[in-house]
Structure 1
Amino acid sequence: MDAIERYINELMEKSTPDRPVWNIEKLLQGEKAGWNYIDGCMIKAILEMYAITEDLKYLNFADTFIDYKVREDGSIDGYDVEERNIDNVNAGKTLFELFDLTGKEKYRKAIDLVYSQIGKMPRTREGNFWHKNIYPNQVWLDGLYMCQPFYMEYETRFNHKKNCGDIYSQFANVRKAMRDTETGLYYHAYDSSREMFWCDKVTGLSQNFWLRALGWYAMALLDTMDKSDPSDKNDLKEMEEAFRDLIDSMLKYQDESGMWYQVVNLGGMDRNYLETSGSAIFSYAILKGVRLGYLPESYSGYGKKAFQGICDTYLQLEEGDISLGGICLVAGLGGKDRRNGTYDYYMSEPIVKDDAKGVGPFLLAYTEMRRTGWVYNN
């Protein structure tokens, strides 16, 4: 067993469904973890570990973790559809896989419950889901990852593709409104109403290119295409173009270490740092993009370099304990903290170790590395 597998095993051993050690936000708040996107990221990665290793301990852990939250009638402990929070859809992705692997009917019922939120989400005038009810008229790149792959899998599997057009158009709207033509990068968020204090009053856009948000968007494109019906050729062609364009734009900013900076286009500026979660997401997105045929084979070197860079920079072994550092805990816009999206704001958020927003993508990238036949030399 290599050091990375040992690391994930240690995290699993120390975690319970109420208090997973990778949910640093909840641990710092002293609260139990309800139904949230952070645990969803981690359980998805653990299910990928099962897919690549066929080791039942990963499936059993994921099943036990989600089973604990989902009641027999399909209701979910700690989840309220009426909150209308797009982040809460993300953990629903694990339900499809666990339903297929275990056949538990309560998972199928829970899938319907999570899907019911999609029908209740308010929308911008362009037709995109608000990020949350408490963030009116706002689209954040993160939200596309949280919702659209789940939405697409439901439509193709259970709803005769009735709303696939809605999904494709939400991606098209984001590309039109949020992409910067000069760099090819996407701004973190967009306010359709142009009212928020953090947005440009002409464009509605926030000020900066935040690495993890760009990563979420890359994964949103990739994972939604992966769940689409291949016969949707024209729509998928546009998605592929957007994905390739984003990866090409990001490669211009890849550091010689293989990683990317917290504020992507300002490497070398005071306090800017190489950030783990977003770098791991792009490692995963590039490697999986090559595997699925969306990127040329030659690109896999960029994904491998990113993964190796994270290992070299932030995977540390101290007194027998392994930890993964360099993870931005959280970043957003507005809210009670009046987060303004400036460069200084992105530098002010805590940098932590072992948080699932970094560890989950790191493990996803690791599974893609394993698929290439790579072995970790520790």
Structure 2
Amino acid sequence: MKKNDLLNLFESANNRMKNLDNETGVNEICPISIIDMSTWEWAQGVGLYGMQKYYAETGKQEVLDFLVDWFDNNIRKGLPAKNVNTMCPLLTLTYVYEYTKKDIYLDICKEWSEWVIKEMPRTEEMGLQHIVSEKENHGQVWIDTLFMTVLFMARMGKLLDREDYKAESVRQYLLHIKYLTNKKNGLFDHGFDFNGRHAFGEIQWGRGNSWYTSSVVDYLDILGELDMGVKWFLLDTLHAQVQALEQYQNENGMWHTLITDKESYVESSATAGFAYGILKAVRLGYIPEKYRECGIKALEAIIKRISQDGTVTEVSYGTAICDDAQKYKEVPICPMTYGQALTLMLLTEALKLEVVPTA
């Protein structure tokens, strides 16, 4: 595939995300829509981050204009209550602030990051409790939190030179690894409940695992000067995860929504997140070169799943934690902003390959 063809895919997937709606009629279980691109929630936050990656790669002014308009419109309407998931759009807002120098953007980021430090509910051992728009989830930590909130805290630590913010982000990565790593295979369980001290059936959910794979490589970019021992620990954890992922990769290049369960459907957002993290980690020398083939195979599979209008297909709807594996298999499939965004992130790595694969 030529680089121009890849850039066309890039633009198509980005433009499709701008206009996503619930055309498939999925019954939304979230109190704030996670399909409608205009609303402020975690799914849109991931979408914005993918668009920011697209802007950083191409410098297209219309992409930045969309981001500025999106934030201005939502600020005008009034922001939702603070929680792990509604924090996600602020990750992109830190970059848009740097591009525009609009004080209101930084003021909002300061207010929300201080809330995390001083008021956000905590579990035992000071984990960020996975409070969301519809549930308190008392005593629970979920792997999702690393992408939705912790990347933002790292960015604010870097932006404001706040050592306490940086240290908080380190603590959360280490705590989530401590309680969510499945000792049998090196993958992550979806969550851990300190109340009953259990891991909800030890289910290794695909997209949840990809939140680590796709976030940790960017986390290291964000902090840069991270303590070497911590960096080694994070990368050793990534290597162990990728070793397991290679074993469970479907022959078509995809991963299943339940990674170890071949009876569960293959899922695009997880696959794109894995491929992004793997290819970036190989490029930066974080994991051995031998895993490049695994990442490229997944890239080829995702390219095949970008339709003519730019829709990334075979993406699962938002998925709450559960101790019943069957319920994960029943989550509906529909176009989602994070499916588009993780694909955009993957395409940024594809552009850096010497030879771009053909789907």
- TM-score normalised by the shorter chain: which range applies? 0.7 to 0.9
Q: Structure 2 counterpart of 1:259, which letter?
A: M
CA distance 1:21–1:221, change in 2 (3 Å): farther
**SS, match of residue 150 in structure 1:** helix
| Cα distance in 2, alignment partners of residues 254 and 29 from structure 1 | 28
Contact 1:193 1:204 in 2 (8 A): no
Which residue of 220, 225, 233 corresponds with 2:220?
A: 225
RMSD: 2.8
CA distance 1:297–1:21, change in 2 (3 Å): farther
| Cα distance in 2, alignment partners of residues 175 and 211 from structure 1 | 16
Q: Which residue of 2 aligns with 1:199?
A: none
Which residue of 337, 351, 355 corresponds with 1:370?
A: 351
Q: Which residue of 1 aligns with 2:306?
A: 315
Contact 1:263 1:346 in 2 (8 A): yes
Report the CA distance between 1:156 and its aligned residue. 2.6
Report the CA distance between 1:9 and its aligned residue. 5.2
Which residue of 99, 102, 115 corresponds with 1:101?
A: 99
Which sections of structure 2, spanning at least 5 residues, go unmatched?
none
Q: Which residue of 2 aligns with 1:213?
A: 208
Aligned positions, number: 347
Deviations 1:241-285 (CA, angstroms, capped at 9, x unpaired): 112221222111111111101110111x2xx11110100100111
Q: Which residue of 1 aligns with 2:238?
A: 243
CA distance 1:86–1:62, change in 2 (3 Å): same
Contact 1:23 1:356 in 2 (8 A): no
Which sections of structure 1, spanning at least 5 residues, go unmatched?
195-201, 334-339
TM-score by length of structure 1 reads 0.83
Query: In the alignment, does 2:258 pair up with 1:257?
Result: no
CA distance 1:228–1:142, change in 2 (3 Å): same
TM-score by length of structure 2 reads 0.87
Sequence identity percentage: 23
Contact 2:188 2:204 in 1 (8 A): yes
**SS, match of residue 289 in structure 1:** helix
Contact 2:41 2:85 in 1 (8 A): yes
**SS, match of residue 256 in structure 2:** coil
Report the CA distance between 1:97 and its aligned residue. 0.8
CA distance 1:233–1:33, change in 2 (3 Å): same
CA distance 1:32–1:63, change in 2 (3 Å): closer
Report the CA distance between 1:33 and its aligned residue. 4.3
Query: In the alignment, does 2:105 pair up with 1:115?
Result: no
Q: Which residue of 1 aligns with 2:78?
A: 77
Contact 1:262 1:273 in 2 (8 A): yes
Q: Structure 1 counterpart of 2:111, which letter?
A: L
Report the CA distance between 1:300 and its aligned residue. 2.5
| Cα distance in 2, alignment partners of residues 166 and 229 from structure 1 | 16
Which residue of 136, 139, 153 corresponds with 1:151?
A: 153
| Cα distance in 1, alignment partners of residues 55 and 232 from structure 2 | 31
